Structure 1
Amino acid sequence: MRIPEETIDRIRQSADIIDVISDYVSLKKRGQNWIACCPFHNEKTPSFNVSPSRQIYKCFGCGKAGDPVRFVMDIENIGYPEALRHLAKKYGIEVAEEQLTPDELIKQNERESLFIVLNFAKDYYHSHLLTSEEGHSIGLSYFRERGFLDNTVQAFELGYSSDQWDALLQEAGRRGYRPELLEKAGLVLSKEGGKTYDRFRGRVIFPIHNVSGRVIAFGARILKTDKNQPKYLNSPETEVYHKSQVLYGIFQAKNAIRQEDICYLTEGYTDVISLHQAGIKNVVASSGTSLTIEQIRLISRFTQNVTILYDGDAAGIKAALRGLDMVLEEGLNVSVATFPDGDDPDSYVRKVGAEAFRSYLSRHSNDFITFKTDILLKDAGDNPFKRAEIISEVIQSISKIPDPIKRQVFFQKTARQLQVDEQTLISESNRMLLNQQKQQVKQQEKAGPSNRVNQQSSVSAPPDLTELLHEFPVESPPTAPKTADPLPSKNRSPLFYQEEECIRLLINYGAHELEPDISVCHYMLSELGTMEFVTPIFNKMLNEIREGFLSSEIRTADYFLRHLNQDFQHQAISLVTVRHQLSENWQKHEIYVPTEVDKLADAAFGNILRLKKLVAEQQMKEIKQLISQTNDPVESDRLMLEYMHYKKVDIEIGRLLGTVIS
């Protein structure tokens, strides 16, 4: 099955990179671009860069890069056709494809088939709630008893499962879905005797959505009293559902979290739904599981501020506190609020209403360190040994905070709270941090030192562009070692960086004129002649540029960004994305800072010189090796003359660059 090209073009033209990425990450504007902490790897300082003008993204930390379609593929872990369909649905574009049977859809993609059958189950449960007599009398009555309105039921796609052994299984069979697929999705169970039955029988259903809104699992609550059945039942782990990585309500809450710049974290499904209905939509739940590092990082995509809402159960609060240090470690600003005994967020918001609920939170929310210290002090009383243990435990929590300024503020506040000397807390924290650093050093030593070669900064004299150094012809070393592509950073040579710089100049500034009728592309290709690059990806791009130039076409970044070759796309994104931008304050104070375009002639001239110098050095190295291996005086003299030629080139280029020759 194939999506028509005209539909693909329409999807690509409609998909805005900022709009697409904002569904998953909270972006902040910086200059002409947008930045965020990367959703593909753990980081505390933003290195994820999005360019709306070029419709591309690039992470300077992990190297991920692409366009809107590639982002959806990477973030959702789906294939190219699925990513196109995802964007088509987002922008209301109809994808005209031939109708396939359910069995053919399943065969198309195992992972996608799980989403299909889970969506079928969601629709089945939701329809059963609204249209069947059993759903109305039991399921809908329960939701209305909880105060959920019809639009809330629709927003969370709530449902009801019939109290029959195989109602879902039978309906799925009529639709053409295989029992083994239902079992993989966690919808049915099989007994040893071979009998298969529905997992969620006689329960109200809470579909669990991922960030993009696709149903990945279900939570279900039993309504009748049965000591042999758990009150709540969740889907098992599947290929598409990993409960440690999911937050209930994140799809419905993500925009509100971004706008309010704070996330309320609760424990249950009904807490989320009741608060959402009351207008407090920036709320999610950990679905009864202990908070995990993956869930914290999911929240950090949208905000750095989290308020955890607990009910009045003191024992449960103490148990939960032990696992919250990792939230501090991720750099989030954590607050905690508790409710009066007997109340949870669901019951309290229904009792007092949204405005009073917000007011209560503003008055009763404390930062995590203060809250934890208060709780532990109440337990310790006047016992000096317990107080000493508390001090150590609180220091350990403060030491997890990565920001040194925040740590200092908390030391001052906690010292007053514990009535101890501030310097004592700091000294103990320094000891803990020193031990952590020692452990990190040991791990780095085990990993091995990095052999990254830093690119040397250039100082070049402005050339006469009509004299293009043709008196120093230098060709590629015939036996230069070809390297794998892409090249690991620790194996990159100085030649790699100069080849990379050459391609960067060509695709970013190839059409710029250095002199009338002499473009950057014309000048650099003339200077390179027939030289071949050692790095495969750069050599391929260079040949593409040469082919275009022969056809009177200057192939710049846009050509490679639209190229079907994914390696070309990825490399072009890396070469056109600028990590740092000049502050606007320079312009406000009328301070002129030369741009790269202003020094383009120097940059092109210097790059060509460095390329030729490195190739000359490589040639000299190989000739010296050949001289040491030959016993023929004539051959030795010939090689020596050739060596002196390259030595002369090397010295002259060094003079032009202003470098010191040993």
Structure 2
Amino acid sequence: MISENTKQQILNRIDIIDIVGEFVKLKKRGTNYIGNCPFHNEKTPSFTVSPTKEIYKCFGCGKSGNSITFLMEHEKYSFPEALRWLAARYNIEIEETEVSPEQKQQQLTSESLYAINHFAQKFFSQQLLETDEGRNIALSYLKERGFREDIIHKFQIGYNPEARDTLTKALLANQFNREILPKTGLVALRNNDELVDNYRNRIIFPIHGNTGKIIGFGARVIGKSDRGPKYINTPENEIYVKSRILYGAYQARMAIDKADECLLVEGYTDVVSLHQAGIENVVASGGTSLTTDQIRLIKKYTSNLTIIYDGDNAGVKAALRGLDMALEEGLNVRLVLIPDNEDPDSYVNKVGVSAFNEFVAKSKKDFILFQLEVMLKEAGNDVSRKSAVVNQIAETLSKINKAEDFTRQQDYIRQCAGLLRIDEAGLTNLVNKYKRDKIAKEEKKQISFDDVNNQLQEGGQPEDVLDDTSRLFAQDEAHERNILRVLLEYGLKPWDETNNMADYIFQELEHFHFETPALEKLYEEYKSWYTQGLEPTTKTMLYHNNEEIRNLVISISVFPFELSQNWDEVLEGMNIVNRDTSKQDVMMSVNYYKLRRIKKMIEENQRDIENAPLENFKPLLEVHKYLKEAERSITNQLGTVIIK
């Protein structure tokens, strides 16, 4: 287990903008940053990151957390894996304490896979560049294909010799775990328990993860061969998940961001050739269908995707896969088909970079219109197939669901109706029907008591599904949440010469208790930390061991709106934004909370008076008098009269 000292070093170094910004394109707004939520399909950006509080929260889907929980949720890391990722990023040496056997095994396996891959990459590069076999067979082949040595070094391309177990012997000689080696895909286990190289006589393309570490390999035959598949890829394991990887993404990420466009090709050599030609904003799907995770990886850097595939039927079908997912994620998709049975690799070498760029620029086809043309061609004069095409294109257009894309959707409807030779209004109605069906389906899933409760826990007010009683409880909860907000934000600031604001709040609320159990638990936990001198704040309690407490701290501390700094420029001398109002905020929060509680006590006492026997009447009147006096005292402090 990672030691507490290491955890503290990591927590002290964490920059949430740096961490989340690795996966989400963020834009500064006021003191916070916003972006499109990586956890659901955004209509408008509602994913907020607060650098001062070190919190992220999506006000669309409700996802929230800190840097560590973001890595756990987005990258599917365990807690120790997230800490190790952060430690590696900030060059922090990890100290270990005792761990469970299962945790230790998982950790050791992942570390072993990274270590084996690192060793293998060095081995493959050495075999390619420093051995006669590598230079004569593999390097000469690469140079015949037009690859320069500088690009070979950039992508760390290598070679696995033809001999049965050259790599295997090297791995075993360096004491790598024999049991883990087959997981990497680098070696294969034969029936007689013999280990042999799996990528013999192949060009090796290392695949890098988002931190630059090698997570797997692609192995390509040299020339043409009938003895096996053209490519062999790493099998899925603890560090390699195919659906979440795009080859070249690590090398291309800055270029994609700068160009505001991602070029998607099929193969490894396509990526390498285009990089060599100076076209660096390119990644490869490996010839498989695009997945949601891959699309979201692209969307981290740009909303513009241009797919460049072979012009044959297989290339066209491959390009069309994943279209609906790309539209749902809000990508603007264009398609370029390379002519004459060429691929991007061969075509850029054939015509040169200038002609290639010119061809791509003038040949970009709108993806939706191209899909419609292909489907209409396949349908021919078959009426039933044409009807299916209408429905399919309407469903596709319904996926364009962002408010800002309304005009774009209407333009598509107009063009598609023309190509289909149908009434534009009819196609619009069909598109809207698919939208309504989807919304109805989602609402049916969402409206339940548990979901309402979750929304309340996240600070929402789902009044469309709350009855009057629930609204009343929600109002009580709002006052309790506000007390916790000022405690977390101002509790350690001085109230007077001897007390902090937390002391003032505890004294004022000594005879009150929270009615919401979860909030009462957080209040008592804050008080416990405070009395122990642990200095509870939003930041420190974000890493509490209890997940419920962490989530409450986040939901209480993050808001969808903030005052613009421009107010201080417009109203000079007023200090609207930068004025310290903490003391006033604490006092008013405490008084409004007490006032609401006292009013409820007055109402309850009045009901008791109405039903009380004569001998209990006088004591209840005394209670009523005491409560009314307390109410007047608070309203005098607030300078207002509370009607209800």
State the shift of 1:503 in Å. 2.2
Identify the residue that residue 442 of structure 1 maps to in structure 2. Answer: 444
> For residue 268 of structure 2, what is the aligned residue in structure 1?
269
1:401 deviation in Å?
A: 0.8
Match of 1:604 among 586, 602, 605: 586
How many residue pairs were aligned? Answer: 616
Contact 2:109 2:238 in 1 (8 A): no
Q: How far apart are residue 575 of structure 1 and its match? A: 4.3
| Deviation at residue 28 of structure 1 after TM alignment | 1.7
5+ long unaligned stretches in structure 2? 97-102, 462-469
**What's the counterpart of residue 332 of structure 1?**
331
Q: Supply the distance in 1 between the matched residues of 2:209 and 2:358 (Cα, whole angstroms).
A: 31
- Deviation string 1:281-311 (CA, Å, 9 cap, x unpaired) is 1111111211122211222222211111121
Q: CA deviation at 1:32?
A: 2.8
Q: Quick one: distance in 2 between partners of 1:48 and 1:64?
A: 9
* 1: CA distance, partners of 2:368 / 2:536: 57
Deviation by residue 1:167-210 (Cα, 9 ceiling, x = unmatched): 33222222222222112333333334433323222211112222
Instruction: Give 1:159 shift.
Output: 1.8
Q: Per the alignment, do residues 409 and 54 of structure 1 end up closer, same or farther by CA in structure 2, a change over 3 Å counting?
A: same
Bigger mean CA deviation after superposition, 22-31 or 330-339 = 22-31
The reply to whether residue 255 of structure 1 matches residue 262 of structure 2 is no
Counterpart check, 1:402 vs 2:383:
no
Q: State the distance in 1 between where 2:315 and 2:185 align.
A: 30
Equivalent residue, structure 2, for 1:528 = 509
**2:522 aligned partner:** 537
For the structure 1 residues 643 and 246, does the alpha-carbon distance in structure 2 shift closer, same or farther, using more than 3 Å as the test?
farther
Distance between the aligned counterparts of 1:596 and 1:633, measured in 2?
Answer: 58
Q: In the alignment, which residue of structure 1 is the partner of 2:299?
A: 300
SS in 2 for 1:179: coil
What is the CA distance between 1:416 and its match in structure 2?
Answer: 4.3
Distance across 2 between alignment mates of 1:491 and 1:115: 55
Distance 1:643 1:587, change over 3 A: closer
Residues 114/583 of structure 1: CA separation in 2 closer, same or farther (3 Å cut): same
Instruction: Report the equivalent of 2:114.
Output: 115
Alpha-carbon RMSD: 4.4
Q: CA deviation at 1:223?
A: 2.2
The residue identity in structure 2 corresponding to 1:608 is: V
From 478, 503, 517, the counterpart of 2:484: 503
TM-superposed deviation, 1:644? 4.5
Equivalence map 1:367-446=2 (5 Å): 367-379=366-378, 388-403=387-402, 404-445=406-447
Partner Cα separation in structure 1 for residue 191 and residue 596 of structure 2? 70
Partner of 2:344: 345
**Residue type matched to 2:431 in 1?**
S
- How far 1:562 sits from its partner (Å)? 8.4
CA, structure 1 residues 507+2, in 2 after alignment: closer, same or farther (shift >3 Å)?
Answer: closer
Q: Distance in 2 between matches of 1:628 and 1:111?
A: 71
Contact 1:3 1:81 in 2 (8 A): no
Q: Pairwise mapping of residues 92-171 of structure 1 onto structure 2 (< 5 A)?
A: 93=91, 95=93, 109-171=108-170
Look up the match of 1:22.
Answer: 21
- CA deviations 1:226-267 (Å, max 9, x no partner) are 434111111222232221221111111122222222111111
User: Aligned AA for 2:324?
Assistant: D
Runs of 5+ unmatched residues, structure 1 = 99-103, 458-488
Deviates more, 1:287-296 or 1:442-451: 442-451
Distance 1:607 1:348, change over 3 A: same
> 1:449 Cα deviation (Å)?
6.1
Deviation digits for residues 538-577 of structure 1, max 9, x if unmatched? 32113434565xxxx9865566568898877765555444
Structure 1 counterpart of 2:561: 580
Percent identity of paired positions between Structure 1 and Structure 2:
37
**Which moved further from structure 2: 401-410 or 283-292?**
401-410
SS at match of 2:207: strand
Deviates more, 1:402-411 or 1:599-608: 599-608
Asked whether the equivalents of residues 263 and 281 of structure 2 are also in contact (C-alpha less than 8 Å), the reply is yes
Q: When the two structures are superposed, what TM-score results if normalisation uses the length of structure 2? A: 0.80
Q: Aligned AA for 2:143?
A: R
Q: TM-score, normalised by structure 1?
A: 0.78
| Separation in 2, partners of 1:26, 1:490 | 37
- Look up the match of 1:476: none
Q: Residues 650, 160 of structure 1: CA spacing in aligned structure 2 closer, same or farther, 3 A cutoff?
A: farther
- Contact conserved, 1:209 with 1:248, CA < 8 A, in 2? yes
CA distance in 1 between partners of 2:539 and 2:43 (Å): 32
Query: 1:601-628: CA deviations, max 9, x gaps?
Result: 6643443244335655787899999999
Query: Is residue 247–residue 283 contact of structure 2 (8 Å, CA) maintained in 1?
Result: yes
Aligned-partner residue type, residue 528 of structure 1: L
* 1:217 alignment counterpart: 216
Q: For residues 566 and 397 of structure 1, do their structure 2 counterparts lie closer, same or farther at Cα, with a shift above 3 Å needed? A: closer
